[in-house]
């Protein structure tokens, strides 16, 4: 795991002198508000471009902002990067792909999992009940993620070939990876 806490506790200066996160409301954001936030941040690469880096052995991510209501991350992906099946516990979230392509997969018990390519310029949002996995579909994918309330715990899932699903609670600080290599295939 490559984790960069670059100015995670303070907002960054932007060219016009405004602080990018000071306009956020002092409350938890819903999934549509989170989607609007990641879409806005995608249009401001001066806030995240310096954090972009790639590795096939570990996913690179950088905390862009964290306060008591929202958590914002930049993630960089190659085809070797895979979160495994997971949820975001109590948090809603949104993802905006700013470069390359990710694949978002949703589990289908007793059926083939749904896999959707999400390319640069696209975003999606979800509630705390959403289970998915993200993988790099290109070797240069970059995405901006926002969560509210801020991540604290996540659920990591293993889905066996015969359809058995089990959940393990993990810290937000742990890098998500498939729990079982056989299940990731």
CA distance linking residue 102 with residue 143, whole number of Å:
8
> How does the average pLDDT of the chain come out, rounded?
86
Q: pTM for the full model?
A: 0.83
What is the model's pLDDT at position 161?
A: 77
pLDDT digits (tens, 9 = 90+) for 118-150: 999 999 999 999 999 999 999 999 999 999 999
User: Higher-confidence residue: 117 or 159?
Assistant: 117
pLDDT digits (tens, 9 = 90+) for 66-103: 999 999 999 999 999 999 999 999 999 999 999 999 99
Residues flagged as binding site: 86, 88, 132
CA distance linking residue 164 with residue 134, whole number of Å:
20
CA distance linking residue 86 with residue 179, whole number of Å:
10
Domain ranges of the chain: 31-151
- The answer to whether 95 and 61 have CB atoms below 8 angstroms apart is no
CB atoms within 10 A of CB 7: 14
pLDDT digits (tens, 9 = 90+) for 97-126: 999 999 999 998 778 899 999 999 999 999
Query: Collapsing DSSP states into helix, strand and coil, what is residue 39?
Result: helix
State yes or no: pLDDT of 64 exceeds 60: yes
114: tokens are 């749904």
Residue in this structure with the two tokens 């999934």, named with its chain if needed: 31
Residues flagged as binding site for Fe cation: 86, 88, 132
**What is the full DSSP assignment across 112-128?**
PPEEEEEETT-EEEE-T
Architecture of the domain defined by 31-151: Sandwich (2.60)
């Amino acid at each position: 795991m490559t984790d960069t806490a670059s100015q995670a506790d303070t907002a960054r200066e932007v060219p016009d002198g405004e602080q990018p996160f000071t306009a956020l409301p002092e409350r938890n954001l819903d999934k549509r508000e989170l989607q609007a936030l990641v879409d806005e941040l995608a249009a401001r690469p001066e806030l995240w471009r310096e954090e972009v880096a790639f590795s096939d052995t570990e996913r690179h991510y950088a905390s862009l902002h964290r306060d008591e209501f929202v958590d914002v991350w930049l993630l960089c992906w190659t085809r070797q990067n895979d979160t495994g099946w997971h949820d975001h516990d109590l948090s809603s979230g949104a993802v905006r792909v700013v470069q390359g392509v990710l694949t978002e997969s949703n589990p289908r018990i007793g059926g083939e999992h749904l896999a959707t390519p999400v390319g640069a310029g696209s975003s999606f949002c979800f509630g705390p009940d959403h289970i998915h996995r993200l993988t790099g579909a290109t070797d240069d994918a970059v995405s901006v993620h926002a969560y509210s309330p801020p991540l604290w715990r996540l659920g990591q899932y293993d889905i066996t070939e015969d359809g058995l699903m089990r959940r393990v609670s993990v810290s937000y600080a742990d890098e998500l990876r498939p729990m079982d290599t056989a299940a990731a295939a």
